[in-house]
A and B are shown apart, each in its own frame.
Chain A
Amino acid sequence: MGTFILRRVWVMILTALCLTFIVFFLTNLYPNLEKLAKTQGNVRMSDEQVQTWLETRGYLQPLPVKYGQWLGVLPGWQGVTTDGRAVGQCLEPGRPPEAAPRFCGVLQGDWGNSSVFKEPVWDIVSKRLGLTGKLMFWVMVLMVPSALLLGVLAGMREGSRTDRTLSTFAITTTATPEYVSGVILIAVFASSAVGLKWFKGTATSAMEDATFENFFLPVLTIALYGMGYIARMTRASMAEVMTQQYIRTARLKGVSFPNIVLKHALRNALIAPFTVIMLQFPWLLNGVVIVETLFNYKGFGWTLVQAAGNNDIELLLGVSVVSVFVVLVTQLISDIVYVYLNPRIKVA
């Protein structure tokens, strides 16, 4: 088990390095840098001015060097602008350039500054992650129990009318991406023209003070899309377990049907859906971006869209690192837990 986890962690670190390098490469392409120079410096800069602006700030070094600096394994860049000011990655306003640390990258906890929000990237990311965490927590609270219930109810009597109805419902939710279900839900429950006006169509106020009225629709929108998939997995797994010999034995012994489902079938049927729930995280991240944009909830996904749309390179890098990290860690946990739950899989 120990070597298995070690190997997985090693692959995970390698993946994370590759992915961040790709993101770094794509965000540091010359057209992006040129745009950055023009938004940070002066819109009417000539090509030569852009060149010198980028050069004095160390943007024109070879890519691996820049990546090393950003990561914090190479000494940070220091340069002098044309008007004699010292600029550099590790410099901070109000501190003499001599006192700056040599290394200042992600590994040192220095994620750079957002060029749009004028704040350190880490502050923005942690604040927004908190907001998204709140959203995700309620999504999980709503999605997991209802999906499992749906799947178990449908799978315990395969082919019955309940099964058909619930399965159709599950298929419909998987066929409805968030931007469709969100629009339909707003139209039905929140539109001021027609509709029921039960909930609010935006979740901006839910950032400080989440209530049922302003928070339920975004949570439901994300939960619905993930729900169908988990429910179908649970149904398949439940239906398979229900055909096993030991279930038949239990029935023949005269155990009541609810008892069979709860005591004999449920535990074995929930192994497969559990890993699926964990692997849903990358998917949910997508949903989060869509829903936060749709409902104007300024969380992590909203930040991603802002960073990407405004060419905010360092913020985008920070957001990417965090999202890649979330995805990889959930994969790792799901693998480990799967091995732990399923005695049939033996890992040396």
Chain B
Amino acid sequence: MEPLSWGEIVLRILGLLTPVWIGLVATIALSIAFKRRLGLYGKLFDSPIGMVGFGLVMFWVFTAIFGAMDLIVTHDALSQSASMKNEPPGTPYSKLIGDPDPDAYPFYLLGGDNLGRDVFSRVVDGAWIVIQIAPLATLFAFMVGITLGLPAAYYGGRLDTFLSFLANLILAFPVILLFYLLVTPEIVATGIPSYMAAVMFVFPILFATVLLNSRYHTRPSVRTPVLAAVIAVLGWLYLSLISERAGALEVLPSWLDLFDIPGGILVVFVSVVFVNSPTVFRIVRGIAMDIKTRDYVAAAQTRGEGAWYIMLWEILPNARGPLIVDFCLRVGYTTILLGTLGFFGLGLPPESPDWGSTINEGRKLLSIYLHPALPPALALLSLVLGLNLLADGLREESLRD
């Protein structure tokens, strides 16, 4: 078979991404049709920058989801073919020993890497890893930052001094040094990341409990069942998250353990949350200090509302604009951090298709072969750029009213 020309490669890739295009067009069309009823999200479609950013982000989200559903990926991201090593984009798929499976996709659209794996499939699979970890880790970091930042700003005094000192302590660490100290097999063997996970993953439960309790504590008939249900569900998720079979923490018997996170991913997750939380803490604290002086807070205080009610139901909703913008930026930053971890070969298994690891492998032969390193690099760039543009669009639109 003849190798594909560049035009054919582009056409084939565009064709493979058909589900993504359908998803994108449907989302954008629906959102534009109903944009007046969608609040801040709808206003996003008034700003061209925000729309471009949203499009880029949703492109990768759909690619990741449909890739994980096996609608896009052409080859297994881990299977190697000795005759495809470093082959340029568009090379027909072949195997050194035996014939390739007749059902297999006949080309390596973006070529093969140094172990003869399909670069295109690895980029698509890498998107799934990023889309799974980055937003969730950022969300956890926000939970930690909000739960600690609000009281620090509201109460001030000793508590504030202490928490700010802790936050500055972590921020003074160069991130890469922290990663190198936290994400090594030796540290993982001592179980420290598992203990850190056990501490940090409490915060979402704490947050939800305080949030509901401060709202409904005057109505025990509603509060008690709701709180009990929320704590039960979250607590179960928490316990099955932190308890690992044959790991440092084994709390739940295995029949109760819902899922097991592979050790590497958990460590990566924990360290990313750990690095992000102090910055979120500082942002939340700063905004809350400002909002604390407003009249409606004073009014709530005069009404005799509890401190946590004021923090979570008066201050937090009014801080949402900057927080949403920062969330988008921070997901991008987390993506960069994940890539950094992969780039230094920390945490994730070496054959993992995430973008950082792929760039790291591709860079070793970069002066001769460009195609293994460039696609993941451009993918990461476009996703983070999309998130930044999205944040910019959101900021512009939220400032408008």
Contacts and interface: CB of A to CB of B under 8 A. Distances in A.
Interface stretch (A186-194, A249-257, A258-266): A186-194
B355 to A, nearest CB: 9
A171 B172 contact: no
Given A171-B389, A171-B392, A186-B367, A286 B181 contact: no
B388 A171 contact: yes
Given A35-B186, A175-B387, 18 more contacts: A14-B165, A15-B169, A15-B172, A26-B182, A172-B385, A174-B388, A176-B381, A176-B385, A177-B336, A179-B339, A179-B377, A180-B380, A180-B381, A183-B366, A186-B367, A193-B368, A282-B171, A320-B177
B190 to A, nearest CB: 5
A91 B346 CA distance: 36
A327 B172 contact: yes
A274 B93 CA distance: 55
Contacts of B381: 172, 175-176, 180, 184
Contact of B174 (A31, A172, A282): A282
B111 interface: no
Interface centre among B189, B332, B381 (most CB of A within 10 A): B381
A187 B172 contact: no
Contacts of A184: 374, 377-378, 381
A125 to B, nearest CB: 14
A281 to B, nearest CB: 10
Contacts of A231: none
Nearest to A23: B181
B176 interface: yes
A285 interface: yes
Interface residues of A, number: 54
Contacts of B189: 31
Interface string A83-101: 0000000000000000000
Closest 7 CB pairs of A and B: A308-B180, A31-B186, A175-B385, A175-B384, A180-B377, A177-B336, A26-B181
B363 to A, nearest CB: 6
Interface of A: 11, 14-15, 18-19, 23, 26-27, 29-32, 35, 171-172, 174-177, 179-180, 182-184, 186-187, 190-195, 201, 282, 285-286, 289-290, 293-294, 301, 304-305, 308-309, 311, 316, 319-320, 323-324, 327-328, 331
8 contacts: A19-B169, A27-B181, A35-B186, A177-B336, A183-B366, A191-B370, A304-B176, A323-B174
B63 interface: no
A18 B169 contact: yes
Contact of A31 (B165, B190, B378, B389): B190
A268 B195 CA distance: 48
Interface centre among A14, A194, A195, A308 (most CB of B within 10 A): A308
Given A171-B388, A192-B367, A308-B184, A30 B190 contact: yes
A11 B344 contact: no
A316 B389 CA distance: 38
A63 B168 CA distance: 24
A187 B373 contact: yes
Contact of B340 (A19, A172, A179): A179
A206 to B, nearest CB: 16
A311 B366 contact: no
Interface of B: 165, 168-169, 171-177, 180-182, 184-187, 189-190, 192, 332, 336, 339-340, 343-344, 356, 359-360, 362-363, 366-370, 373-374, 377-378, 380-381, 384-385, 387-389, 392
B194 to A, nearest CB: 14
Contact of B187 (A26, A176, A193, A290): A26
Given A171-B389, A172-B385, A175-B381, A183 B374 contact: yes
A183 B168 contact: no
Contacts, number: 140
A175 B332 contact: yes
A19 B174 contact: no
A11 B389 CA distance: 38
A328 B171 CA distance: 10
B344 A293 contact: yes
Given A32-B186, A282-B174, A176 B344 contact: no
B338 to A, nearest CB: 10
Nearest to B387: A175
B169 to A, nearest CB: 6
A289 B366 contact: no
Contacts of A285: 174, 176
Contacts of B359: 179-180, 183
Contact of A29 (B172, B190, B387): B190
Given A15-B168, A15-B172, A193 B377 contact: no
A14 B173 CA distance: 14
Nearest to B166: A18
A14 B363 CA distance: 41
A30 B186 CA distance: 8
Contacts of B380: 177, 180
A317 B43 CA distance: 51
A191 B366 contact: yes
Contacts of A23: 177, 181
A279 B190 CA distance: 34
A179 B354 CA distance: 14
Nearest to A325: B172
B398 to A, nearest CB: 16
A191 B169 contact: no
B185 to A, nearest CB: 8
Contacts of A192: 367-368
Nearest to B355: A180
Contact of A11 (B165, B369, B387): B165
B186 A179 contact: no
B340 A193 contact: no
A257 to B, nearest CB: 26
